[in-house]
Chain A
């Protein structure tokens, strides 16, 4: 009897989890994990090796996922807030990453395409990129909040023009920061000497910690959700809905700057037309995968971030399976279709009924 009760308790918890928002990314993660386990358990192998500088590095698919999922996770933070507050998405993040990266290189390299020494400390370049990205975020935010233009339409402007602006910032040059020029610049996209885990992961963790502290010690979460759900009512509660929408785009701008730093540091250079290409769609998909309504309102930050890593998990799995890279979007599309179908109210209702039927009779007694 005792064990039975425990079992029931577990089942009830499982049932609750199923109804929880975070269930969607977790379920997606589990499906992918199990698939890989069956297809090839060596997927999970992690081995320690030493890189050219003699520092230890961990290698393996899981590390790759944590590494390459970082930019996406960072963007998902900002995208979640923008989605919640404005009920729309920013499709210009890829282009603004190009701008942020271009700004960093412009400050570091001056006008030289292959400098022998940095023209400014990296932190200065990064801060300048933050300011520029936030200004572009502010531009998007102002269009959305004060001119009431639909977010997708408003951000279409930078989506179209951003990469040209990025190229213009560096006068169409493609600056390269070589190892000899600055041994530290590559750290942000690779490894810190002596630490076997890729730096982007730490940067992502730092961003995640910051956003959770912000959510805990300010009312950002409450305000953005309130505005996203009912902006009229929020105003009557003393909030300034326009400003909150505006600020969510500025925060996304900051996330873009961080992602831009990682991107340029990974390869020590930039290619304006392809850097962070299509990343906006992945960021939006991460938000959706997190079970957040793309029409705004309530959000779950953990679920969004998890969603970002699920997407990278999927990408890495597909690379591992040697699926043609050009076919990747098609697989992502399948995921989107599944998600949309699963989150449709009708299907949820149906699943809820199914769950009730499947519940063992004894549980009904307990409940």
Chain B
């Protein structure tokens, strides 16, 4: 084990049925270090953390902890806790109707909880030492979210933790609260606690972290000192910029060229929804494939949800083929020929217990009307047609969709929307969590549909997929549209530059934050 390392994970493998979630990942955390774990969704961050905290069992590899002279055996969250590994999640997992002190001591079996006075005293001592502005006998729900986070951290610290994992702790905090949290993190760092920090906010990484480990597709990309890795490079490492051999999918002939004077199939002005995106303008022409890009949480999904009426639209207007239309509910979008394949297949897409057949016909059936059900024969015809067309692998049309593999589930949802014969198809992460073969099929299908005159908005966290399929990209950062790229600008580096904020102000902010850190060493 490396000197002053508190945690070393070596050659970690984790397999799920059909997926290799982690392939030989190494990770080292040193004493008194804040270590960012970065990667896009599906990169394996959360799997790695779950292996470390005992939620999952690893298939291969070793975990070593400081002070433990043999391999650490972590088979359950309790094991992890006993070994001094604590986690604070994005969502508060404490009990809001108990007091701060009770929350700190409950379920720990130390016996302290039996003596209320002592418990409150102890809790106050810890809160004071960590400079957390809360009282032991205060009810937790009266504290702000940030304080609640800190109480959770205090609980973890008091349990003598050596490794503290903060899993997206800042997502629901405002700027000042984030500052407070960072203060606490620095304080803990000074006490020698090793902190693993998972976040999607690049600024925050550069503000508090010492090291960054980047994962991509379940593999380790590398471990870097913060000063050696400028933002743009971090983004490139997270996204993986090397184009693979699929880059030839995009045929020149398929590239859409704007016809002068043509009316957009769909157009939005100042659209805004309750999901917290800034008002945005957007249009798409007949036969065009465009996309929203940006890091996770940048608001790209929220934009298309606003277009489809999936979130409540609070401002702006929409035009369909030049005519003003009101789209505040999905059904209105569907009646206007818009289809939307949602980002989260399990939560928003599939109807798990229903059969493949029913899942395919659902949207079309809803459009047709309550009193006009398709006959069983018609349903079978549709289902068979699309199962064949999209090569959906299913035992039968009557198999519940939940027993299909992820890729085939996605194809069923795709079939559902294709069956409605939309003019404008929105695909939000259609390729997430499915195998490479299906990914390519879907991309090809998108281009084919566009060539037949359908307009498609395609979102993917894999930039190369978007580059291959889209002729125009809307770039988003912090829930705001920050740029639009077409033609020769459609390159990895240009996208990353726009995402990272190629503008002067952002770059200068980085300079301020990383004192003494070198920047802009190439791109």
Contacts and interface: CB of A to CB of B under 8 A. Distances in A.
A touching B, CB within 8 angstroms = yes
Interface of A: 216-220, 222-223, 225-226, 229-230, 232-240, 297-298
Given A238-B330, A298-B353, A233 B347 contact: yes
B331 A222 contact: no
B504 to A, nearest CB: 41
B367 A238 contact: yes
A232 B310 CA distance: 10
Interface string B6-34: 00000000000000000000000000000
A17 B14 CA distance: 39
A230 to B, nearest CB: 5
Given A232-B348, A236-B340, A218 B370 contact: yes
12 contacts: A217-B371, A218-B370, A218-B373, A223-B366, A229-B352, A232-B348, A233-B349, A236-B342, A237-B330, A238-B330, A240-B331, A297-B353
Interface in B143-186: none
Contact of A238 (B331, B347, B353): B331
Nearest to B331: A238
Chain B contact patch, size range:
20 to 34
B48 interface: no
Contact of A225 (B350, B353, B366): B353
Query: What 4 A-B pairs have minimum CB-CB distances, sorted nearest first?
Result: A238-B331, A238-B366, A238-B334, A237-B363
A225 B354 contact: yes
Nearest to B363: A237
B362 interface: yes
B221 interface: no
A167 B358 CA distance: 47
Contacts of B94: none
Interface in B328-384: 329-331, 334, 340, 342, 347-354, 358, 362-363, 365-367, 370-371, 373
Given A232-B348, A234-B351, A238-B367, A226 B362 contact: yes
B309 to A, nearest CB: 9
Interface of B: 308, 310, 329-331, 334, 340, 342, 347-354, 358, 362-363, 365-367, 370-371, 373, 416
Nearest to B350: A233
A219 B365 contact: yes
A235 B351 contact: no
Given A226-B362, A240-B329, 6 more contacts: A222-B354, A229-B353, A236-B340, A238-B334, A239-B366, A240-B331
A223 B351 CA distance: 11
A229 B370 contact: no
B370 A230 contact: no
A238 B349 contact: no
Nearest to A234: B351
A230 B366 CA distance: 15
A230 B365 contact: no
Contact of B351 (A220, A230, A238, A240): A230
Contacts of B329: 238, 240
Given A234-B351, A238-B331, A240-B331, A222 B363 contact: no
Contacts of A236: 308, 310, 330, 340, 342, 348-349
Nearest to B416: A237
Given A217-B373, A226-B362, A235 B354 contact: no
Contacts of B373: 216-219, 222
Contacts of B362: 222, 226, 237
B244 to A, nearest CB: 32
Q: Which of A235, A237, A238, A297 has the most chain B CB within a 10 Å cutoff?
A: A237
A233 B348 contact: yes
Contacts of A222: 354, 358, 362, 365, 373
A221 to B, nearest CB: 9
Contact of A229 (B310, B354, B366): B354
A145 B363 CA distance: 22
Given A236-B342, A236-B348, A223 B370 contact: yes
A222 B361 CA distance: 10
Contacts of A218: 370-371, 373
Contacts of A226: 351, 354, 358, 362
A70 B353 CA distance: 30
Q: Which of A230, A233, A239, A297 has the most chain B CB within a 10 Å cutoff?
A: A233
B486 to A, nearest CB: 30
B311 to A, nearest CB: 11
Contacts of B310: 235-236
Given A236-B330, A238-B334, A298 B354 contact: yes
Given A237-B363, A240-B331, A232 B347 contact: yes
B370 A235 contact: no
